[in-house]
Structure 1
Amino acid sequence: MTSVAATRLRLPRLAAVPLLLAVLLVLTAIAYPLTDGAARDAVSWTIVVLGSTLSVVHAGLARRARTALGLLVLVAVTAVAFEAFGLSTGIPYGRYTYSDALGPTLLGVPFLVPLAWLMMAWPSWVLAERLARPVRPHRRGTVRVLAAAGVFAAWDVVLDPQMVQAGYWTWAHPAPGLPGIDTVPLTNLAGWLLAGVVLMALLDLLVTRTSVPDAPRVGPAAPLLALGWMTLGGALAHAGWLGLPGSAAWGAGLAGVVLLVLFLQERRARASSR
């Protein structure tokens, strides 16, 4: 049996690993609004570690080990570079400071932050890859990068108010912000869009150059489950338990747009196959 054939036989079994990580992530995220203090800090760390591990594992199974390693290095370097520069200059996010609750740092950036980027980046790219499929081939790459950057930034619209409420970081000038969100400035959203475009352009290039010919070898269910729960589930937690109705509304609205696009794509695909 060739190594390629052996790998294909192992993949159905290995595909359960990302799904298991995604389920553990969902269960841990459910615990977040039900805890406080040190217990909530532990839950936050666990969510990020599970999410970042899910991203690397799924990237390796869906594409190849080189893609997973490249994803890890690329996101870590990009995250530290943007965050360290942002802390020093206030560009592109605005002025902010991290609390000591996030633990050890590198260049002033807590280790948890690049892991959070990793948790968010791969599912954003996976969803964007799906959204861009109906686009003409010569435009698909550009649409994929822009869609991934948009999803990446939209995820933070839900996440950032929650982290400010938990005391993990503080904005020097939180106004003006999105309607209903008075703790996070619009400059942060602009910064995430810029960082997202840079990161997703590099990530798209990485995937293109490292993927195996028959990729993806496993489906997108695990990262999409993580992304869906962290946005829609996060919105539910914000509305019901965390007292953050503004970010809840934004999260539900942005997720609703994506779900509508996916529904229309699926409907069009079914109609064209008849």
Structure 2
Amino acid sequence: MDNTNATNHDRRETSGRRGAVQRRLEALIRQNRFTIAVVFPVVGAVTLVASAEGWLPEPLAYNPLFILFGTAVMRSPLLVGVLPRIGWWALGCLGVLTAYTYAIEVVGVRTDWPYGAFEYTIQLGPMLLGEVPIALPLFFIPLVLNAYLLTLLVLGDWSDRLLVRVPVAIAAVVAIDVVLDPAAVAIGFWAFESGGFYGVPLSNYAGWVLSGTVAVALVDLAFERSGLLERVRVCEFMLDDLVSFVLLWGSINLLYGNWLAAGVAGLFCLGLFSTDRYDREMVLTALPRFDPDPSSGPRN
């Protein structure tokens, strides 16, 4: 009995520590929402375009540390938001998805299947086997989660139907790539041997249908849907990473005249607005506040 009580006490302490850490992380995100969701992607777009156009000196152009740090910061609202819903089962499913992400990318680089012949033209941080970025899951998996969460919110009660939510989420993942790849090609992240849609071959999107299907299936399997949906409903900043994505890659597409890709980014804006969490009041709440009296401490 004593051992049981001690075990329960340890579990309560661990749960209490996790809860305290979670609350601190959420407070940090809330206090810096505008910086994370708006300033970082705008600065990112400017520096990436400046790198592509040769306006930055070599140590700063395509600096992998800047790219990785900026990506991690923009991902933080999603990661902090989803953290309370990640148990051992979800962690295992996401681990499988991580392994799949590496495997399909290595196959793609080596065999030109399923995306078409392409290569990375810059190093996005350390490269696994000298071929794909080690940080690839940080780039890819949050895009799938964003598409899945937006799908749940937009579909409403229809999200209870497997044969509705999964195909719609897969379509959202492919639509995200319709925004991402033309902009990434424009600024020189990677290049295809041939391309029809702003330098991107249609085979690439067929490949993303495959990748998106596997990824969405694993995400759908990983989480208890009602709990995840409740979490995204109450966590107001959970989709801020998608806001960053639209600002960063949508603006790059506009600058390079990729009008259709920019239009798809605009559709994501409409989807975000339809969730009723991105309005004037939210913007005013997210804007940083400056207190003239430093002794009064930070304000939320």
State the partner residue of 1:29. Answer: 41
2:151 touches 2:169 (CA, 8 Å); kept in 1? yes
The alignment status of 1:74 with 2:81, answered yes or no, reads: no
C-alpha distance 114-262 of structure 1, shift in aligned 2 (>3 A): same
Q: Quick one: distance in 2 between partners of 1:194 and 1:49?
A: 26
State the partner residue of 1:135. Answer: 158
1:59 touches 1:68 (CA, 8 Å); kept in 2? no
Deviation for aligned residue 1:204: 0.8
C-alpha distance 39-154 of structure 1, shift in aligned 2 (>3 A): farther
Q: Quick one: distance in 2 between partners of 1:72 and 1:50?
A: 20
Deviation for aligned residue 1:82: 1.5
One-letter amino acid matched to 1:255 = F
CA displacement 1:162-202 (0-9 Å, x = unmatched) = 21122221101112x2xxxx211111122112211111111
Deviation for aligned residue 1:60: 1.2
C-alpha distance 217-110 of structure 1, shift in aligned 2 (>3 A): closer
Structure 1: 5+ residue stretches without partners: 264-274
The two structures have a TM-score, normalised by structure 1, of 0.75
State the partner residue of 2:268. Answer: 255
Q: Quick one: distance in 2 between partners of 1:165 and 1:47?
A: 19
Deviation for aligned residue 1:96: 0.6
- Out of 130, 146, 166, the position equivalent to 1:123 is 146
**1:190-229 aligned within 5 A:** 190-208=206-224, 216=231, 219-229=234-244
1:86 touches 1:94 (CA, 8 Å); kept in 2? yes
Q: What secondary structure, in the 3-state scheme, does the structure 1 residue paired with 2:157 have?
A: coil
Q: Quick one: distance in 1 between partners of 2:199 and 2:262?
A: 14
CA displacement 1:77-134 (0-9 Å, x = unmatched) = 1211211121122222111111242232224211232210123122222112223332
Q: Radius of gyration: which is bigger?
A: 2
The two structures have a TM-score, normalised by structure 2, of 0.69
2:151 touches 2:168 (CA, 8 Å); kept in 1? yes
**Count of aligned pairs between the two proteins:** 252
Q: What secondary structure, in the 3-state scheme, does the structure 2 residue paired with 1:133 have?
A: helix
Q: What secondary structure, in the 3-state scheme, does the structure 2 residue paired with 1:118 have?
A: helix
One-letter amino acid matched to 2:135 = L
State the partner residue of 1:155. Answer: 176
C-alpha distance 125-20 of structure 1, shift in aligned 2 (>3 A): farther
Q: What secondary structure, in the 3-state scheme, does the structure 2 residue paired with 1:221 have?
A: coil
Superposed CA RMSD: 3.5
- By relative contact order (CA 8 Å, sep 6+), the higher-ranking structure is 2
C-alpha distance 259-32 of structure 1, shift in aligned 2 (>3 A): closer
**1:262-273 aligned within 5 A:** none
The alignment status of 1:112 with 2:135, answered yes or no, reads: yes
One-letter amino acid matched to 2:151 = A
